[in-house]
């Protein structure tokens, strides 16, 4: 290989200086040529801006702030916050479950409410982690169904506690096999206890009797609503010292529709659009209102030309007699009938009967 000529060391600073001197002019020339040439370059959105535009921002998911395309997709869902009394019912359910499960397991049980969300029924069935036991229950007074899901951690924990498992050791999970009859029976007893607590939780609002219908392990057999129907999902956490798991309660909006008006209350006993004090005051004022009543002696049908030709001093003959009944009206509405007479120096009417209101008089 031929030897390359070496560059003198003292020439490098001079070359660098020339480069520094030429660089600003070159940048200015490039900028001028870009302006005079192809025009401004197109701006490309980064991934964060694209996610924010489409509504797939992770932080917004955590805060449950739906925006963009996701807001349009979920626009059909009704937020549970429109049913304020429902959250109070579930808080009462948590307190009742804590007491009843402690008596059921003879162990220190803590039940906590994680969150309450709205979800489509089909999306929930696809998100259930298997294996799990799904309990379908029937709300008799509401004439519809609900779904109760118990995950495998809670199933094995309940079995371990009820069958005398040692404390301080986590429940043993055996994957790859169906649940045995003993496990299903113990979980069924626990679900029946929880359903009794639900009856007590709804009792102050409306009497509802929840009855267990069946147990399923396949979500396809637990379809109680259409996939696109909206439902309320309540996630509960059950802790028994170092053991426990999650259970989820799903109530379709169709199930809560009969008591929806009660769930819209801000507090128990609220009256919608009614104020007893104002009603009493209005009734008092109405009873003391003065009304003008007309006493009708007789009515006749006459031709218009005869009426127009009436002169002062002419007499109109009536069909009424001294014994004829006089009808009393208020603004054209017939109210009473009576006979005309005299009381002292005044002409009076003695009331004999009330006129039954008809649809025409009510319309007047």
pLDDT in tens, 161-197: 888 876 655 555 556 678 888 989 999 999 999 999 9
Low-confidence ranges of the chain (pLDDT < 70): 1-41, 47-48, 51-81, 166-176, 267-275, 358-364
- Say what the pLDDT of residue 240 is: 86
Question: How many Cβ atoms sit within 10 Å of the Cβ of residue 151?
Answer: 19
Which helix H or strand E contains 100, and what residues bound it?
Answer: helix 84-105
Give me the pLDDT at residue 265, please. 79
- For residue 18, the model assigns a pLDDT of 47
Q: Is 36 left (phi over 0), alpha (psi -120 to 50) or beta?
A: alpha
What domains are there in the chain, each with its CATH number? Answer: 76-263 (3.40.1550.10), 293-363 (2.30.330.10)
Res 2: pLDDT: 46
Residue 65: what pLDDT? 52
What pLDDT is recorded for position 12?
Answer: 46
pLDDT at 242: 79
Q: Where are the alpha helices (DSSP H) in 120-204?
A: 121-127, 152-162, 181-202
pLDDT at 168: 58
Give ∠ CA 293-294-297 in degrees, rounded to 5: 150
Instruction: Find the helix packing angle between 84-105 and 152-162, rounded to 10°.
Output: 40
The dihedral formed by the CA atoms of 114, 97, 110 and 177, expressed in degrees to the nearest 10: -80
Q: What is the CA radius of gyration of the chain?
A: 42
Quickly tell me which residue has 């008591």 as its tokens.
259
Neighbours of 171 (CB within 10 A): 20
Q: Are 169 and 140 in contact (CB under 8 A)?
A: no
Phi-psi label, residue 293: left if phi above 0, alpha if psi -120 to 50, beta otherwise: beta
Identify which of 167, 214, 169, 168 has the alpha carbon closest to the alpha carbon of residue 187: 214
């Amino acid at each position: 290989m031929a030897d390359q000529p070496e560059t003198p060391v003292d020439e490098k600073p001079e070359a660098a200086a020339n480069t520094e001197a030429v660089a600003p002019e070159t940048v200015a020339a490039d900028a001028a040529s870009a302006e005079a040439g192809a025009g401004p370059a197109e701006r490309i959105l980064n991934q964060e801006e694209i996610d924010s535009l489409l509504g797939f921002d992770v932080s917004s998911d955590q805060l449950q702030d739906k925006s963009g395309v996701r807001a349009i997709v979920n626009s059909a869902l009704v937020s549970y916050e429109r049913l304020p009394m429902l959250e109070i019912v579930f808080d009462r359910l948590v307190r009742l479950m804590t007491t009843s499960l402690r008596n059921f397991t003879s162990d220190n049980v803590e039940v906590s409410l994680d969150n309450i969300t709205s979800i489509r029924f089909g999306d929930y069935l696809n998100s259930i982690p298997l294996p799990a036991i799904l309990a379908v229950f029937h709300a008799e007074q509401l004439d519809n169904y609900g779904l109760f899901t118990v995950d495998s951690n809670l199933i094995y924990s309940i079995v371990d506690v009820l069958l005398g498992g040692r404390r301080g050791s986590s429940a043993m999970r055996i994957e790859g096999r169906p649940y045995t009859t003993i496990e299903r029976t113990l979980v069924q007893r626990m679900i029946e206890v929880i359903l009794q607590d639900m009856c007590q939780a709804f009792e102050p609002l409306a009497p509802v009797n929840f009855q267990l219908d069946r147990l399923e392990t396949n979500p396809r057999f637990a379809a109680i609503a259409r996939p696109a129907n909206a439902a309320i999902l309540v996630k509960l956490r059950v802790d028994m010292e170092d053991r426990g798991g999650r259970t989820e309660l799903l109530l379709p909006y169709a199930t809560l529709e009969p008591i929806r008006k009660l769930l819209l209350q801000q507090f128990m006993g609220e009256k919608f659009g009614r104020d007893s004090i104002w009603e009493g005051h209005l009734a008092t004022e109405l009873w003391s209102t003065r009304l003008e009543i007309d006493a009708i002696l007789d009515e006749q049908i006459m031709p218009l030309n005869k009426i127009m030709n009436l002169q002062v001093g002419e007499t109109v003959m009536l069909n009424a007699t001294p014994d004829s009944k006089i009808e009393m009206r208020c603004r054209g509405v017939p109210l009473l009938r009576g006979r005309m007479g005299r009381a002292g120096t005044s002409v009076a009417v003695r009331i004999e009967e009330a006129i039954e209101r008809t649809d025409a008089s009510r319309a007047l």
